[in-house]
Amino acid sequence: MEQPKGYEVSGKEHLVCKLKKSLYGLKQSPRLWYQKFDAFMKTQGCTRSNEDPCLYTKKCSDESSIALILYVDDMLIVGKNKDELSLLKKNLSQTFDMKDLGDAKHILGMRITRDRSKRCIYLSQAEYISKYSRDLIWRMQSR
């Protein structure tokens, strides 16, 4: 690949970048990421679901399970056993450059609110809709 514009190494402008790792924009990048993640999850004793290749489950010692779903760079982890949850989170963070977002609040443009007393989870796309409709209206008017 060409050297990035504005950051060519001085004295080495004639050289090019031989890629060893993937980069944004490469055709194979999403697949390489998935394969790497999949291999990592196997080392964690997780089983990939046959129904959905982005769902992984693990049986914990106390007979409860934890489940993880992956949407490119976003993941949700569900489970009862807090120790197992934090262990998986710790191992993930050590392997990849991760951000721990705590209790899930927002996934795929949906706001997650929960009411534990009623055992309910609410999903809302209100913010997603208002964000884009406001932008759309503003741009239609400004033309």
Partner 1 sequence: MHKQPIKEVEVRKVVFQDVTPSISVQKNNSTPMPNNPTNVHPYEDAQNEDTQNDDACVQPENSPTSVQQPVRRSTRVSRPPAKLTDYVMLTDAGEPSCYKEAMLASDHAKWEHAMQSELDSIYKNGTWDLLPLPKNRKALPCKWVYKYKYTSDKTSPKYKARLVAKGFKQEHGVDFDEIFSPVVKMTTLHMLLALDANQDLELVQMDVKTVFIHGDLK
Q: Which of residues 9-68 bind partner 1 (CB under 8 A)?
A: 9, 12, 14-36, 49, 51-55, 67
> Applying CB under 8 A, does 94 fall inside the site for partner 1?
no
Among 44, 60, 87, 107, contact with partner 1 (rule: CB under 8 A): 107
> Applying CB under 8 A, does 141 fall inside the site for partner 1?
no
> Applying CB under 8 A, does 129 fall inside the site for partner 1?
no
C-alpha–C-alpha distance, residues 62 and 81, integer Å:
8
| Residue 75: its H or E element | strand 74-79
> Applying CB under 8 A, does 130 fall inside the site for partner 1?
no
Among 1, 47, 59, 129, contact with partner 1 (rule: CB under 8 A): 1
Q: How many residues bind partner 1 (CB under 8 A)?
A: 82
Burial 7-39 (b: 16+ CB within 10 A, else e): eeeeeeeeeeeeeeeeeeeeeeeeeeeeeebee
Among 42, 47, 72, 129, contact with partner 1 (rule: CB under 8 A): 72
C-alpha–C-alpha distance, residues 136 and 131, integer Å:
9
Output the CA angle 98-70-24, nearest 5 degrees. Answer: 65
For residue 64, the minimal CB distance to partner 1 (Å) is: 9
> Applying CB under 8 A, does 101 fall inside the site for partner 1?
yes
